[in-house]
Amino acid sequence: MSDPTQMSDPTQWTLVEAADAVSSKQISARELAEACIAKSEKLQPTLNCLISLDADGALDEADAADTALARGDAIGPLHGVPLAHKDMFYRAGKVSTCGSKIRKDFLPDHTATVLQRLAAAGALHMGGLNMSEFAVGPFGHNEHWGHCRNPWNPEHVTGGSSSGSGSAVGGRLVFGALGSDTGGSVRLPSACCGLVGMKGTQTRVSRYGVMGLSFSLDNVGPLTRTVRDNARMMAIIAGADPNDLTAANVPVDDYEAATIDAQVKGLRIAVPSNHYYDGASDDVRALMEASLKVFESLGATLVTVEVPDHDILPDLAIALRGPEGAVLHQAWMRDRPQDYGAQVKARLEPGLAISATEYVTSQQIRPKITQRFVDAVFAEADVFHAPTINIPVPSIADTDVKASPNFPAVVAGMVHCTHPINYLGLPSLAVPAGFAQNGLPASFQLIGRPYAEATLYRAAAAYEAETRFFETAPS
């Protein structure tokens, strides 16, 4: 990584560089926060990635961080580092809009566990980030708060539903952000905005105090500029939580250690022969092949595999997400249907028509389907490599089809590679893979066995050290 002391603009630092600079007193937390606030105020009119900017609160936290450092207090791994998060992570007494009109004034009475853990690690809270309404939508469209814009080209989508998280981190407004991932909503904006994004093993991270969409598929994960940044945030938020008994009581590995001097010699990488390249563009396919050649040059071995059951996985995932989302929204859909955006309403309403038989069947066969995938892929490989999105990042105009007859096909194309992994419940890490012919980022995802996040971080860090795409920032 670069030397922070040699860079005139601290917003260009990585999260780890920023934390190191504050802890070594090369920069104060206030100075760092002021730089991020100024950047946010400058770019918000273009990117529309913020719903709220809490500049005063962030500066108060920064002053407290500087005071603690001056006193010699013990500090955490994110001490003085400005972050912002998708506006669906609750903070007691602070508005959490969930990107909606319906909750534009909602004041939660409790704080999400993940926010508590980041605060305990020393992070500053900059504000709430734009998102697809109620986390429904893979593009980043929002009819109430305005569409979020891609920092590489504002005419293109950010990916959703964690659209503001992708735009704010990609645009260098903050050093990291949390998103949620029900069908790809951490990985898609990471892919579109040139970032690293982790969807951990199902229930790896607590969901207490986080707006729900689909209990069976929801995940919380970080979006960052580098693999090491991501590993640091993930290690802080992962783990058991007495307030969320579904959060897995499985030890959290030292993810960050896995990224340091990472090697992949002898690593076996599975490459799919079916599904993931269906409809892939030539330029994205070429970038995927180039990324695999990098892994081979570092000593990894490629293994071609046929993935089972992927013809039915989209329907199985919808059979879970549909009813679970409809249950959460049925009262509002009945009493306030006019307050939903057209795309969101078009995706939520079909969940009311999915039968209990379909839902229960999808739940019952899920362990068997997952085991079939694990057996087919990981009997021969350590990680699975596939595109995150197998087409170039589309434009806002091409995807803003609202509730038109073409809407389901447009959505399905965007989540083609990510949605199956949510149903399988496996960890998946989106990694930048260069730039497509339209000049926007491309990305692959590394998928692992349950709770094998450290292996994914190790492989991704070795690739990143060779390619260093994170050093290229939007102009």
Contact between 27 and 10 under an 8 Å Cβ cutoff? The reply is: yes
For the stretch 165-211, pLDDT in tens is: 999 999 999 999 999 999 999 999 999 999 999 999 999 999 999 99
Q: Beta strand pairing status for 82-86 and 124-129?
A: parallel
pLDDT at 3 (0 to 100):
58
pLDDT confidence bin for 7, thresholds 50/70/90: low
CA distance 270 to 304: 6
Mean pLDDT of 365-374: 98
* Nearest residue to 361 (alpha-carbon basis) of 320, 325, 421, 322: 320
Residues with Cβ within 8 Å of 357's Cβ and at least 6 positions away in sequence, in order, are none
* Nearest residue to 456 (alpha-carbon basis) of 378, 392, 403, 355: 378
Give the type of residue at 313.
L
- Cis peptide bond upstream of 475, omega within 30: no
Q: Buried b vs exposed e over 389-404: b needs ≥16 C-beta within 10 Å?
A: bbbbbbbbeebbbeee
Secondary structure (DSSP) of 106-157: ---SS--HHHHHHHHTT-EEEEEEP-SGGG--SS---TTT----BTTBTTB-
Give the SS3 label for residue 248. Answer: coil
Residue numbers annotated as active site = 86, 161, 185
User: pLDDT: is 428 or 403 the higher one?
Assistant: 428
Q: 353, exposed or middle or buried, with CB in 10 Å at 0-12, 13-18, 19+?
A: exposed
CA distance 319 to 357: 10
pLDDT confidence bin for 409, thresholds 50/70/90: confident
pLDDT confidence bin for 260, thresholds 50/70/90: very high
- Is 80 exceeded by the pLDDT of residue 406? no
Lowest average pLDDT, out of 4-13, 86-95, 263-272, 318-327, goes to 4-13
Give the type of residue at 287.
L
Element (H, E) at 431: strand 428-435
Mean pLDDT of 308-333: 97
pLDDT at 404 (0 to 100):
72
- Tell me the pLDDT of the chain averaged across its residues: 96
Question: What is the distance between the terminal CA atoms of the chain, rounded to a whole angstrom?
Answer: 20
pLDDT confidence bin for 393, thresholds 50/70/90: very high
- Is 60 exceeded by the pLDDT of residue 6? no
pLDDT at 405 (0 to 100):
76
Q: 112, exposed or middle or buried, with CB in 10 Å at 0-12, 13-18, 19+?
A: buried
pLDDT at 4 (0 to 100):
55
**pTM recorded for the entire structure:** 0.97
For the stretch 275-284, pLDDT in tens is: 999 999 999 9
Element (H, E) at 424: helix 419-424
pLDDT at 403 (0 to 100):
66
pLDDT confidence bin for 400, thresholds 50/70/90: confident
Q: Which tokens is 215 given?
A: 């209990």
For the stretch 415-457, pLDDT in tens is: 999 999 999 999 999 999 999 999 999 999 999 999 999 999 9
CA distance 140 to 161: 6
Mean pLDDT of 362-385: 98
Half-sphere exposure at residue 117, Cβ-oriented, CA atoms within 13 angstroms: 20
- Is 60 exceeded by the pLDDT of residue 13? yes
